[in-house]
Amino acid sequence: RLSQMLTQFETERDQLKLRQIESAESIREERESARLLERNMARVEQEREQLHGDLKDLSAQFKSERTFSREVTEDRQRLQIEAASLQSEVSILREVHTEGQERLRKAEANSEELNKDLLQTQQKLREIEFDFRSTQEANVREKNELERNVEYLTTHLSESNASLSELKKDHQVTLNRSETQLKALTQKVKETDAAWSRQRETLKEAMARSRVLQNDLLLSEETMNKARALAVEAEARREELEIEQARLKDTFKSNRSEQETVRAELAQQISKLETEFNGASHQAAQEKSRADDLESEWLRSTHLLEELNAQLSRAQEDRANIEAELTERRDYIDRINSLFKNEQEDHRKVFESLKRYTAAFEERGQKLNLITSTAEDRGRRLEALEAQYKSVTEARSYRAISRVNRLLRAVRLRGPAAVATELNPTSLLPASTGQKISKVTPNLPEAPRESNTHMPARSLPRTAAILDEFSMACFAPDCDMITFRTDNWRERLEAQKPKLLLVESAWHGNDDSWQYRVASYEKNMGDELKDLITWCKSESIPTVFWNKEDPVHYDRFIDSAKLFDIILTSDVRCTEQYQSEVGHKRVHALPFAAQPSIHNPVRDEPRSAEVCFAGSYYANRFEQRREDMDNILKPALDYGLEIFDRNHGLVIPGTDHFRFPDIYQNAIQGRLEYDDMIKAYRKYKVFLNVNSVKNSLTMFSRRVFELLACGTPVITTPSVGISQLLGDDLVLRAESEHETREALEALLKNESEWARISALGIRKVLNEHTYKVRFDSVLKFAGLSLDDEVPPNIVCIADPKNRDELDALTATLLEQSHAPDTLILLDTRKIKKKWIRESESRLNSQQIKVRTLIQSDFRVAIQAFDPATVLTFISPHDLYGREYLADHLQSFIYSPTGVLGKASHFEQKEPNTPPRLLRSEEEHCLVTSVPRGSVCARKGALSPAEIEELAYGNAPSFEHASIYGGTRFNFCKLAAHQKPNTLSEEIRQGICI
C-alpha cells in the first residue's frame, strides 16, 4: 500500500507540476495579451492625439479661411462701389453687345437656310440611294469630297466655337461684375452654339447616310448621270456655302477685333483699379500694423501696471509683516539681554572650569597616544614575525619565501591589516591543475572628492564561507566574511566566532583550497567538510548550503547538502526532491542576483558597440538550445553582432562540438575573463541571452541580473523565471528570428525607448535583486535576527518665491515614493505665514517636518547635521517625477562620489512647448556641472560654502569631474510661467518613469 501511495503521490506531483507549468504558460499568454492590449491602447491614444492635432490644424485653417473670407467680403464691397463707377462703361459695352446680337441673328438666319438646304440634300440623297449602288467608285470620290467639305465646315465651326469661347472668356470678368446686364448676350451666345451644334449634327447625319449609301449603291449608268447632276448641284451648293461661310467668317473676325479692343480697354481699367486697390491695401496694412503696435503697447502697459500694483500690495503686506516681526524680535531681544546679564557670569565660571578640564584631558591624551604608538610598534613587529614564520613554515614551494620582504613593507606602511590582504595563503601553494579564474574587482573610477557613497552602515553578520570566486566577490560586501582552508578552518573559526556558515556548490572553493571537498566523486578526497559541519553544530552555528548548479548537478552535491541545516537551491523545482531526500522542509529557493559594487552603470567611456553575445555553442547536444541560439544570433548579424566565445583558443580534445558555425566566425572577438566581461557589459547597447532551463520559476543565467544592473537591456529566449522575477517589459523576449529583429529595432532605432528600459532595469534589480537582498533572505532562513539599517536623514532645501511655487513644492514632495524627513524653506519674507502653515499641515501628514530659516540660521542648522545626511535641492518651478528622490538614493549605493545630479536632463525653452533632451551622452558618468535643482549630495561631500551657494540659487560647477550624472528621467527644467501641473500627460510620461 505504501508503494501504491508513493506511486499515486508521485503521479499527483507530476500532474501538479504540469498544471503549474500550464498555469505559468497561461499567465505568460495573459501577460502577452495584456501587453498587446497596452500597445494597442497606446497606438489608439497616439492616433487620438494625432487626430486632436489634425483637428487643431483644421481649426486654425478654418480661422484663417474665415479671416480670408471676411477680407474677401470687404474687397467685394469695395468692388461693388467700383462697379457702380463702371456702369457708364457698361452702357457703352451694351451697344457693342447689341450690334453683336444683330450679327448673331443674321448668322442664325443663314444657319436656317443652310439647314433647309441640307434637308433638301438629304431628301434627294434618299431618292437616289438605290441608284448609287451602280456608281460606287464615283460615290467614293464624292464621299471623300463631301468628307473634306464636312471637315472644312467642322473646322470652321470649331474655330467659330473657339472664337465664341474666347469671347466669353474675355468678357467673363466684366460679365461677373454686371451679371444682370450681360445675361442676354450670354443667352444669345448659347443659342448660337446650339445652332452650330445642330448644323454639326446635320452634317454628321449626312456623313452617316453617305456611309450607308456606299454599301447600297449599285453600278448604274443612268443613276450615275443623275448622281453627276446631283454632284454638280452639290458642288454649286458647296460653293454657295463657302461664300456664306467666308461672309460669316469676316463677320466673326470683325466682332472678334471689336471684342479684343473692348477687352484691352477693360484690361487697362482693371489694371488701374488693381493698382489703386494694392495701394489702398498696403496703406490699410500699415494702418493695421500701427494699430496692433499701439494695442500691444497698451496691453504691456496694462500688464506692467497690474504687476506694479501687485508688487505694491505685496510690499505693503511684507512691510506689515516685517514690522510685526521686528516688534516681536525686539521684545525677544530684550528678554534675552535681561537673562544674558544674569547668566554671563555663570557661563564664564563654567568656561574656566572647562578650560582646566580640557588641559587635563589633552595631557592624558598625549600620554595615551604615546602608549598606543608604542603598542602599535610592538604589534607590527609581532605581526611581521608571525607572518614571516607562517610564510616560511606553511609554504609548499620556494616562491612564498620571496614574498616576505614585500609583506614586511606592506605591514610598515599600512599596519597589521595588510597581512590579511597581502598574505594570500593559497597563493603559497603549488599551482592548481585546474584553470584559475581571474580576480574580480569592481570597475569604478577613483573618486576625486570625499565619497560617503554608502548608506549608514549596519553591523555586518560575521559569516564563515566556502565560495567560488564569483560568489565570494558578490556576497563579501554585505557580510563580515571569514575564509579558511581545509587545514586551518578550526583555528580561524574558533578565533573569530562566526554566526553563520555558508557553503555553496563550489568547484574551487576559497581559492582552490576546498577543491574536490564539496562535490561528490568516485574517490573520497577527505572528510574536512563533515568535520566542519560537526564543529558548527557543536557551537550552535547554523549551516546553510546553496546549490547554484541545480538541476544539472543535483546528484553531484546532494550528499554534501544532506549535512546542512538549511538547503537553498537556484531552481525552485528541486525543493520537493530535496525535501524527499533529506527528510525535512528547510529547503528554499535562492535565485542569482547582482552586486552593485561590481555590477553598476558607472562608465568611463561611451557605449561604442551595438550587440553582444557571450557564451558557448552546442553543436551536438541541447538541440533546442541550438535552435534558440540560431533564432537570436542570426538576425543580430545584421546589427553588428560581436561574440565572445567561452571556448575560443582552447585546443583541448573533444571541444569541436562547442565550435560556432562558419556563419558566426567573423563575429567572434575572442574570449573574456570575468572582470573584462563586466567592462563589456557597459560597452554594448544590447546583450543577447539564451536559456537552457526554460520552465523554472527561479533558475536562469546570473548574467541577466548583472546586465540590467549595468543599465544594459537584454533580449532573451523564453524563460518562465525571467518573466516571473523581472517581467517581459524589462527583458525583451524573442522566440523567432522575426521577433529578434523587432526587439533589436525597438532598442537600437529608438534611443528614448532604450534609455527607458535601461533605467527601469537598474531600478528593478537594485530594489529587489541584489546580493544584499539575497543574504538577508539567507539570514532569515537561518533564524538569525537582522540589525535594523539606519536610513539616512534626508533634508530638502528650497526657496519658493510665491504661493504657486510653495504649492508646487508641496505637491512634489507629497508625490515622492521616498519622501524626505525635513523641508527647509529659505527666504520666506514674501510668503504669508498662513500659506506656510497650510503647507506644513499637509506635509506633516506624511511625517515631513518643515523649518523656515534665514541665512545665518541656515548655516548653524547645516553644521548640526551628520555628515551622512542627504541634502537635496529642489527648484519649486521645475518638474519632478515620483521616483526622483528614490532613484538618487539608490544611486548612492554605487556612485563613486557623494554628489549626484542630472547632467543629462530635459529642458523646456518656451511655455506650452515640448521639452528637449540636453547632454544625452552624460548619463552614468562623472561630470563637472549639473542643474542646481537636480543636486542630491551627502553633507560630508560638500564644503559649507558649496552648500550655501547651492541653497541660494547657484548651479554647482567643479574644476574636476566630481559629480555623478544619473539618468535623464524624472527631472525637467520648465520655462518661466509654466506650471508643472499644466503639462500634458503625454509629455509627463516621456519624462517621468
Between CA 260 and CA 171 the distance in angstroms is 10
- In order of 6, 12, 15, 578, 581, the CA distances from 2 in angstroms are 6, 15, 19, 20, 17
- Is the separation of the CB atoms in 715 and 641 below 8 Å? no
Residues 6+ apart with CB under 8 A from 503: 465, 466, 467, 509, 518, 529, 543, 544, 545, 546, 560, 564
Determine if the peptide bond prior to 980 is cis (ω within 30°): no
Is the pLDDT at 22 greater than 90? The verdict is: no
Looking at residue 403, its pLDDT comes to 44
CA 22, chain centre distance (Å): 34
In 749-883, which residue ranges form alpha helices assigned H by DSSP? 751-768, 771-781, 803-815, 833-844, 855-864
Looking at residue 614, its pLDDT comes to 92
Centre a 10 Å sphere on the Cβ of residue 32 and count the other Cβ atoms it contains.
13
Hunting for cell 504661493 — which residue is that? 803
DSSP classification of residue 554 = H
- In order of 592, 669, 684, the CA distances from 607 in angstroms are 26, 17, 6
Average pLDDT over residues 860-867: 84
**Domain locations in the chain?**
2-85, 89-385, 461-593+770-789, 609-768, 794-991
Hunting for cell 433647309 — which residue is that? 116
How many CA atoms lie less than 13 Å away from 435 in the CB half-sphere?
7
What is the pTM assigned to this prediction?
Answer: 0.57
Looking at residue 162, its pLDDT comes to 61
CATH classification code of 794-991: 3.90.550.10
Average pLDDT over residues 675-680: 90
- In order of 25, 39, 278, 486, 714, the CA distances from 28 in angstroms are 5, 16, 72, 47, 18
Is the pLDDT at 860 greater than 60? The verdict is: yes
More confident residue, 7 or 224: 7
Centre a 10 Å sphere on the Cβ of residue 247 and count the other Cβ atoms it contains.
13
Helical (H) or strand (E) element with 22: helix 2-85
Looking at residue 441, its pLDDT comes to 35
Between CA 464 and CA 471 the distance in angstroms is 13
Angle in degrees, 0-180, between the axes of helices 737-748 and 623-633, rounded to the nearest 10: 40
Looking at residue 721, its pLDDT comes to 93
Centre a 10 Å sphere on the Cβ of residue 629 and count the other Cβ atoms it contains.
22
Looking at residue 196, its pLDDT comes to 59
Of 311-320, 671-680, 905-914, least confident by mean pLDDT is: 311-320
- In order of 657, 913, 977, 984, the CA distances from 910 in angstroms are 62, 6, 9, 15
Strands 879-880 and 133-134, sheet pairing: unpaired
Looking at residue 37, its pLDDT comes to 78
Which grid cell sits at 802? 510665491
Look at the domain 461-593+770-789 and name its fold: Rossmann fold (3.40.50)
Between CA 554 and CA 450 the distance in angstroms is 47
- pLDDT band for 163, please (50, 70, 90 cuts): low
% of the chain at pLDDT higher than 70: 60
Residues 6+ apart with CB under 8 A from 630: 737
End-to-end CA distance of the chain: 60
Is the pLDDT at 444 greater than 70? The verdict is: no
Is the pLDDT at 385 greater than 50? The verdict is: no
Tell me the DSSP string of 258-283. HHHHHHHHHHHHHHHHHHHHHHHHHH
What 3 state SS string does 373-412 have? HHHHHHHHHHHHHHHHHHHHHHCCCHHHHHHHHHHHHHHH
Domain 609-768: CATH superfamily is Glycogen Phosphorylase B; (3.40.50.2000)
- pLDDT band for 345, please (50, 70, 90 cuts): low
Between CA 380 and CA 408 the distance in angstroms is 9
Looking at residue 120, its pLDDT comes to 66
Average pLDDT over residues 455-471: 80
Between CA 100 and CA 123 the distance in angstroms is 34
Average pLDDT over residues 669-691: 91
Between CA 931 and CA 901 the distance in angstroms is 7
DSSP classification of residue 622 = -
CA angle 859, 864, 866 (to 5 degrees): 125
Looking at residue 375, its pLDDT comes to 53
Of 150-159, 711-720, 839-848, least confident by mean pLDDT is: 150-159
Between CA 4 and CA 7 the distance in angstroms is 5
Between CA 636 and CA 918 the distance in angstroms is 30
Between CA 28 and CA 772 the distance in angstroms is 29
What 3 state SS string does 849-911 have? EEEEECHHHHHHHHHHCCCCCEEEECCCCCEECCCHHHHHHHHCCCCCCCEEECCCEEECCCC
Average pLDDT over residues 379-385: 51
Between CA 242 and CA 238 the distance in angstroms is 6
Residues 6+ apart with CB under 8 A from 485: 425, 426, 510, 513, 514
Between CA 523 and CA 628 the distance in angstroms is 38
Between CA 588 and CA 697 the distance in angstroms is 13
In 415-466, which residue ranges form alpha helices assigned H by DSSP? 418-422
Centre a 10 Å sphere on the Cβ of residue 769 and count the other Cβ atoms it contains.
19
Q: 609-768 and 794-991 share one CATH topology?
A: no
Burial class (CB in 10 A: 0-12, 13-18, 19+), 419: middle
- In order of 19, 218, 439, 550, 593, the CA distances from 575 in angstroms are 17, 114, 33, 10, 19
Looking at residue 241, its pLDDT comes to 66
Helical (H) or strand (E) element with 312: helix 221-394
Of 499-503, 599-603, 815-819, 958-962, least confident by mean pLDDT is: 958-962
Which grid cell sits at 42? 497606446
pLDDT tens digits for range 352-365: 666 665 666 566 66
Looking at residue 255, its pLDDT comes to 63
Average pLDDT over residues 500-511: 92
Average pLDDT over residues 439-457: 39
Looking at residue 516, its pLDDT comes to 87
Is the pLDDT at 503 greater than 90? The verdict is: yes
Which grid cell sits at 839? 503647507
Is the pLDDT at 160 greater than 60? The verdict is: no
Is the pLDDT at 414 greater than 50? The verdict is: no
Which grid cell sits at 481? 566574511
Average pLDDT over residues 262-267: 66
